[in-house]
Amino acid sequence: MTDLERIKQGVIEGDMPRVKELTAKALTEGAAPLALLRRALIPAMNVVGERMRTGEFFVPEVLLAARAMKAAMEIIKPLVLESRAYEPTGRIIIGTVQGDMHDIGKNLVVTMLEGAGFEVADLGVDVSPERFVEAVREKKPDILAMSALLTTTMGQMAAVMKALSDAGCRQRLKVIVGGAPLSPRFARDISADGYAEDAGAAAELAKGLVASRRAATA
């Protein structure tokens, strides 16, 4: 078994100390932080999701796996941030929508956005439309990013879009969305400005939106 396979297995088994140790070891031996994410940590959570779906895993096992994944991400995050752009790229507010407690993917998006030089205000999970609007008014971000992992909560994004329009906050603000049950079509249907499939794509999308707005106002 390779180190990456051992890390993946450790996350599936929820063995946090082992995952931390193996992650640190792999990085010391030259593994690329993003390869660790893409080839060990994220595939591990997909296996956990599948076992949850088939009834082999229940919430306690999933929480242990999530804890192991988060511990590895804490080790990886400073390395991703080292490549951070010098000039701030723009300001972003992000949160997981109301009723949804999933934050691992959202936290990964935060890391990639910060790595791309954005100043990110993370509102956390279970964020109501009112709270999103309040934060947009207060912080005047370039972009609002929303995450949802449940088919039952993705509809909350439409509620946030309506609340933003009702509050007159939509003119200068770009809205991007992501999360496993979403699609580009869903993003278009709720009049979001973009959809990103994963954290790397979210950072690219955000950079593109800010750059095109700067070009339009130059």
Binding residues for ligand B1M, per CB under 6 A? 42, 45-46, 48-49, 52-53, 59, 62-63, 66, 99-106, 108-109, 145, 147, 149-152, 176-181, 196, 198-199, 202
Least gap, CB of 63 to ligand B1M (angstroms): 5
Enumerate the β-bridge partners of residue 91: 119
Q: Which two tokens stand for residue 50?
A: 């599948």
Please, which residue, 45 or 136, has the CB nearer to ligand B1M?
Answer: 45
Please, which residue, 28 or 54, has the CB nearer to ligand B1M?
Answer: 54
Question: Per-residue DSSP letters for 161-197?
Answer: HHHHHHTT--SS-EEEEE-TT--HHHHHHTT-SEE-S
Least gap, CB of 189 to ligand B1M (angstroms): 16
Least gap, CB of 218 to ligand B1M (angstroms): 25
Rounded distance, CA 116 to CA 68, Å? 25
Please, which residue, 28 or 46, has the CB nearer to ligand B1M?
Answer: 46
58: Cα within 13 Å, side-chain hemisphere: 1
Please, which residue, 4 or 48, has the CB nearer to ligand B1M?
Answer: 48
Least gap, CB of 86 to ligand B1M (angstroms): 24
Residues ≥6 apart with Cβ < 8 Å to 47: 8, 12
